[in-house]
A and B are shown apart, each in its own frame.
Chain A
Amino acid sequence: MGKSPLAPLVSERLQQTSRQHLGKKRINGRKITILVLFALLAGCIHHLGPMPERPPGSTEGFFKAALSPTLTDQSQSLPDGATPFSNRILKELATTLRYSFIAMSMAVPAGLFLGFFASTAWWPSGANATLSRLLLRPLHLAVRTTTTLMRSVHELIWAILLLAALGHDPMTACIALALPFTGTLAKVFSEIIDEQIALAHAHAITSGASPLQAFLATLIPQSFPDMATYTLYRFECSLRSSAVLGFVGIETIGLSIRKSFENNFYNELWTELYLLLVVIIIVDIMGARLRKQLNSIAPRTKNTPPSSSTAERIKSLKATTPRWKMPRILLWATLLLTLISWFPGALGIPADQLVKDSSHIDRSQRVSHFITKLTPQPLRENPLGQNGSLAETAAWADNLWQTNGKEALINTLAMATAAVIISALLAWLIIPWGSRAIAQRHPLEVYSGQTSQLTNILWKSYGIITRLFFILSRAIPEYIYAYLLIGILGISAWPLVFALAVHNLGILGRLWGEVIENQPTPAPKQLLYTGSSRLQTYLHSFIPSSFNRFLMYLFYRWETCVREATVLGMLGFASLGLHIQLARSFSRAYDEMLYYVLLGAAMILIGDLISVLLRRSLKKQ
């Protein structure tokens, strides 16, 4: 990085100035945060212990196979007439997409509905409104609690519960995806609405509109770009979740990934991974494009011809209005694909029925049987607390806590925290290389002296490689990373931590990267003009001004990692997920399984609360 000869002097002066003028409180805040992060990481490493020795390698050739994915079956012993490999995985990919579309088509309307009630922006205000507000408050609380409960149970766990209760229908898988996604969409939609600048809303009220009218006519259109962009991002997440459902037996691409890995058919495995990657990356790129178009003004391509009458002029104005193409194309494509997903038979596409024909008696029997097994053992005979069954239940719960629950909870928290901190530290190091503002020949378009064409190409490559790295690392679901890493590194906490960390790194790369790109440029430009290097500008301008937003995103990701960590344990490590898996598969003790699920949900609720409080106090700064 080219430095002017004045740079050392300038940076010393900057440091002096920052010590004097920025004030002790602020500098200590950032330094303390980073120290706390390191301390927490050390604590987690200490708790989780060292990684055990690698088991003797049956996983040789795993990485070599990355270069030679196959399109044909690797198995030597397939029965005659079995579906060939390429057909099989394309079918599973189509199923993955289909379940995503169905789940999202249920989750989005439900999320909008619940999001409306979770928002306070449409509430009437003023002296006349006290009674309405009094009645609205409990409704608001009820909706927020419901949505938090819905999203605090991971979709994989919903799948396990619902498959046991309702049977193995495709619709069950879709509902398992739709439930937590509805909760998340409701929460995010209500936040987007409530955080809008409400000037147009206030004006509508001034001109006589009712609160509901003003809400529909001003806040909804204003919120639309963010809501649409987030919905597309959620769809991308639903693809990942849909793929992972394959690990509990549902016929999406995760199923093939698991089978190929178990059989050591690594070439097949890499084909499946690449396929999933390509689909997700396409959706990721579309999402970025949609966001850009919804938030900017379309270029004018046609001039309006003169016309004779008003009606004609209005018509020709409408026809020549500058419009982006992508939002419309996406909308129609989504509607079409959703219809096909729900009713494939209408187009003659062969697909499984969403709800298999089983008799009603069977299903309701199954549900009531499941609910019985779900009830804690002591309460089954005495559900209303007779014969001291409540005390017994408390003892039963306490026993579960002492034996497994406490340890599992702490392990889950430790894994999530370690993963988030590791990814944050790496992100801080890697992000500037991918920043379009910093990593270029003339950072922030501040002329930085003569450079060769080679330097120019190098800078561009750093940017492309870094951004590509982030895209790839967030495209693969954590569960699949974890599954593969456990196969390679053996069962312990660390493969799970690394899985979480890599995926999270990709997401932080995008979220934090956006924060940096959106920073106002005068301050860092001033540093560059006075001779600072890119590194100095990054450390002294970009990081301080983005720090609070970084932390906000970090807390949000910590919540998500805790959710994922509870589930990753199902792969064999003593976290909540393991006990859920054991209770389900080995002992069929659904009541114990419920205990661990509720424990996980409670932990996420508390984490959510902490995160909201911390984010609120950060916003105030």
Chain B
Amino acid sequence: MSLKLNHLSHSFGSHRTLRDIELAIDTGEQVALIGPSGCGKTTLLRILGTQLMPTQGTVRQLGTNSADLSAKDLKTLRTKIAFIPQHLGLVPNVSVLRNILNGGLGKTGLLSAIRQMLYVTKAETQRVYQLLERTGISEKLYDRTDSLSGGQQQRVAIARALYQNPEVILADEPTSAIDPARARSLIELLTQLSQEENITLAVSMHNLELAKAYFPRLIGLKEGTVKFDTPPAKLKAEQSQDLYLIKPQDHG
């Protein structure tokens, strides 16, 4: 079992974001989280990615309850989970190479980090180049990251995630800021990588059609609760319509 949530609730102050979530994701599974803005998708992903500790209930990643872990073990767990935030978290004024190398910080020591600031070995460069080839932007190896388009920066973030050799990839709304064609090719890339490397994949998104096309499991979230958890074929029309229905008092 790769990721497991038991009776999970989370509140930010008095605001309840997630209510009693039960969820289990297997190793190598591909899951799409669908839901309207403010439904708790990002919070759920952040809890799965050990960024947040839930206020109630338990979360288990890769077989361990992350709340029980020491600082060192938490670090080790984190290196196995690659979280791609919505804002990507790239350093804008350095090269693509450096941003991707930052993905490997958890696995090397402080001295290595200092050494990398001054000198990057051939082996490291080769490895980064190969990852960029897989994500289709190999010619951007030495370019300044903020000179790339939004879609290209997404691919840098994915390459950075792969550099970690992760067991889990969590992507928070990777397609919200790019055009439909590029969104499609990005989701194709993510699902392909997940299948090839047997990496557990959980992606939150708005585009239901795209999710249905590429993900074998769809989880619908609304107001902090799971509304459905089905393969696309079994998804009923009312279920998906109800998800995005705006009631008069709800301004989203």
Binding site for B on A (CB under 8 A): 126, 128, 199-200, 202-210, 212-214, 216-218, 220-222, 224-225, 294-295, 297-298, 304, 310-311, 313-314, 317-318, 321-322
Within the assembled complex, what's the spacing in Å between the Cα atoms of A514 and B22? 54
The reply to whether the CB of B178 lies closer than 8 angstroms to some CB of chain A is: no
Q: Hey, which chain A residues are within 8 Å of B75, CB to CB? A: 208, 210
Question: Which residue of A is nearest B148, CB measured?
Answer: A297
Knowing A209-B105, A214-B105, A314-B141 are in contact, say whether A199-B89 is a contact too (CB < 8 A).
yes
New A-B contacts (4) at CB < 8 Å, excluding given A208-B164, A217-B101, A217-B105: A200-B99, A204-B102, A221-B93, A222-B91
Query: CA separation between A295 and B92, bound complex, in Å?
Result: 10
CB distance from A295 to the nearest CB of B (A): 8
B40 within 8 A of A: no
Residue from the list B87, B91, B139, B147 in contact with A304, Cβ < 8 A: B139
> Measured between alpha carbons, how far is A519 from B26 in the docked complex, in Å?
51
Q: Which residues of B contact A214 (CB under 8 A)?
A: 105
Q: A200-B91, A208-B78 known; A216 and B114 CB under 8 Å?
A: yes
A and B contact pairs by CB, cutoff 8 A, 25 listed: A199-B85, A200-B90, A200-B91, A203-B89, A206-B78, A206-B81, A207-B103, A208-B75, A208-B76, A213-B105, A213-B106, A216-B117, A217-B91, A218-B91, A221-B91, A221-B117, A222-B91, A225-B93, A297-B147, A304-B139, A310-B130, A311-B122, A313-B138, A321-B142, A322-B143
Question: Which residues of B from 166 to 181 have beta carbons under 8 Å from A?
Answer: none
Interface residues of chain B, those whose CB is within 8 Å of chain A, are 49-51, 70-71, 75-79, 81-83, 85, 87-95, 98-99, 101-103, 105-107, 110, 113-114, 116-117, 122, 125-126, 129-130, 138-139, 141-144, 146-147, 164
Residue in A closest to B51 when the chains form the complex, CB atoms:
A206
CB distance from B120 to the nearest CB of A (A): 10
Among A208, A210, A294, A311, the one with the most B-chain Cβ atoms within 10 Å of its Cβ is A208
Given contact pairs A200-B89, A224-B93, A310-B129, A208 touches B102 in the complex (Cβ within 8 A): no
User: A272 to chain B: closest CB distance in Å?
Assistant: 41
Q: Shortest beta-carbon distance, B81 to chain A, in Å?
A: 8
CA distance A204 to B79 in the complex (A): 10
Q: Which residues of A contact B106 (CB under 8 A)?
A: 207-209, 213
A225 — nearest CB in chain B belongs to which residue? Answer: B93
Instruction: Name the B residues within 8 Å of A220 (CB-CB).
Output: 117
Indicate if the CB atoms of B142 and A297 lie closer than 8 Å.
no
In whole angstroms, how far apart are the Cα atoms of A294 and B144 in the complex?
Answer: 11
Residue of B82, B89, B146 with highest tally of chain A CB at under 10 A:
B89
Shortest Cβ distance from A294 into B: residue? B93
User: What is the minimal beta-carbon distance from B90 to any residue of chain A, in angstroms?
Assistant: 6
Q: Name which residue of chain A comes closest to B147, CB basis.
A: A297
Question: Contact between B110 and A212 (Cβ–Cβ < 8 Å)?
Answer: yes
Inter-subunit contact A217/B143 (CB<8 Å): no
Separation of A200 and B102 alpha carbons in the complex (Å): 9
Q: Are B107 and A208 in contact (CB under 8 A)?
A: yes
Q: Using Cβ atoms and an 8 Å threshold, which residues of chain B touch A204?
A: 89, 102, 105
**Nearest Cβ on chain B to A497's Cβ, whole angstroms:** 42
Are B139 and A317 touching (Cβ within 8 A)?
A: yes
- Contact between A206 and B49 (Cβ–Cβ < 8 Å)? yes
Contacts of A207 in B (CB 8 A): 78-79, 81-83, 102-103, 105-106, 164
The answer for the CA separation of A322 and B79 in the assembled complex, in Å, is: 33
A221 proximity list for chain B (CB < 8 A) = 91, 93-94, 98, 117
Separation of A504 and B143 alpha carbons in the complex (Å): 40
B105 touches A314 (CB 8 A): no
Alpha-carbon distance between A264 and B139 when the two chains are bound, in angstroms = 67
Set of chain B residues within 8 Å of A224, measured between Cβ atoms: 93
Chain A residues lying within 8 Å of B107, measured Cβ to Cβ, are: 208
Partner of A206, one of B50, B76, B87, B141: B50
Q: Which residues of B contact A199 (CB under 8 A)?
A: 85, 87-89
When the two chains form their complex, are residues A222 and B102 in contact, meaning their CB atoms are under 8 A apart? Answer: no
Closest residue of A by beta carbon distance from B157? A203
A297 touches B50 (CB 8 A): no
Do A314 and B126 contact each other (CB < 8 Å), given the known contacts A206-B83, A321-B143?
A: yes
Q: Chain B CB within 10 Å — which of A204, A217, A297, A304 has the most?
A: A217
B126 lies within 8 A of A310 (CB): yes
**A contact residues around B117 at 8 Å (CB):** 216-217, 220-221
Q: Shortest distance in angstroms between B185's beta carbon and chain A's nearest beta carbon?
A: 23
Contacting residues, chain B, for A298 (C-beta < 8 A): 144
Known: A200-B91, A203-B89. A208 touches B139 (CB 8 A): no
For the complex of A and B, the 8 pairs showing the least CB-CB separation, nearest first, are A208-B106, A203-B89, A208-B79, A209-B105, A208-B78, A321-B142, A297-B147, A128-B71
When chains A and B are docked, how far (Å) is the Cα of A217 from the Cα of B138?
22
Q: In whole Å, how far is B7's beta carbon from the nearest beta carbon of chain A?
A: 22
From A297, which residue of chain B is reached at the shortest CB distance? B147
Q: Tell me the complex Cα distance, A270–B166, Å.
A: 69
Q: Which residues of A contact B82 (CB under 8 A)?
A: 207
Among the interface residues B71, B110, B142, B143, which one has the most CB atoms of the partner chain A within 10 A?
B142
Bound-state CA distance A314–B141 (Å) is 8
- List the A residue with the shortest CB-CB distance to B117: A216
Residues of B with C-beta under 8 A to A209: 102, 105-106, 113
Highest count of chain A CB atoms <10 Å: which of B85, B113, B138, B139: B113
A318–B113 alpha-carbon span in the complex (Å): 21
Residues on the B chain within 8 Å of A217, using CB: 91, 98, 101-102, 105, 113, 116-117
* Cα–Cα distance between A82 and B110 once the two chains are bound (Å): 59
- A292 to nearest B CB, angstroms? 13
Cβ of B103: which chain A residues have Cβ within 8 Å of it? 207
Of chain B, the residue at the smallest CB distance from A320 is B142
Task: Give, as a whole number of angstroms, the nearest-CB distance from A301 to chain B.
Answer: 13
Taking a contact as CB atoms under 8 Å apart, the answer to whether A210 and B139 are in contact is: no
- Give the distance to chain A from B53, nearest Cβ to Cβ, in Å: 9
Query: How far apart are the CA atoms of A217 and B129 in the complex, in Å?
Result: 19
CA distance A209 to B164 in the complex (A): 11
- In the complex, the chain B residue whose C-beta lies closest to that of A214 is B105
Residue among A203, A314, A317 with max Cβ neighbours from chain B (10 Å): A203
A126–B69 Cα distance when bound, in Å, is: 13
Q: How far is the CA of A318 from the CA of B49 in the complex (A)?
A: 35
Q: How far is the CA of A317 from the CA of B137 in the complex (A)?
A: 12
Determine the chain A residues whose CB is within 8 A of the CB of B70 once the complex forms: 128
How far does the alpha carbon of A157 sit from the alpha carbon of B90 in the complex, in Å?
46
- Residues of chain A with a CB closer than 8 A to B146's CB: 297
Q: Known: A213-B105, A217-B102, A314-B129. Is A203-B142 also a contact (CB below 8 A)?
A: no
Q: What residue in chain B is nearest A215 (Cβ atoms)?
A: B113
Query: What is the bound-complex CA distance between A618 and B78, given in angstroms?
Result: 39
**What residue in chain B is nearest A202 (Cβ atoms)?**
B89
A204 to B130, CA, bound (A): 22
Least distance between B141 CB and chain A CB atoms (Å): 5
Residue of A nearest to B90 (CB): A200
Please, how many angstroms separate the alpha-carbon atoms of A220 and B138 in the complex? Answer: 26
In whole angstroms, how far apart are the Cα atoms of A210 and B103 in the complex? Answer: 12
Chain A residues near B91: list those with CB within 8 A.
200, 217-218, 221-222
Q: CA separation between A217 and B118, bound complex, in Å?
A: 11
Q: Shortest distance in angstroms between A193's beta carbon and chain B's nearest beta carbon? A: 13
A216-B113 CB under 8 A given contacts A207-B103, A311-B126: yes
- Chain B CB within 10 A, most for which of A207, A221, A224, A304: A207
What residues of chain B lie closer than 8 Å to A202, measured between beta carbons? 85, 89
Bound-state Cα–Cα, A199 to B153, Å: 15
Assembled-state Cα–Cα distance A202/B116 (Å): 19
Name the residue of chain B whose CB is nearest to the CB of A216. B113
- Chain A residue with the shortest CB-CB distance to B133: A310
Q: Which chain A residue has the least Cβ–Cβ distance from B101?
A: A217
CA–CA, A20 to B63, complex, Å? 61
B122 cross-chain contacts in A, Cβ below 8 A: 311
In contact, A213 and B139 (Cβ under 8 angstroms): no
Q: Are A317 and B142 in contact (CB-based, < 8 A)?
A: yes
CB of B49 to closest CB in A, whole Å:
6
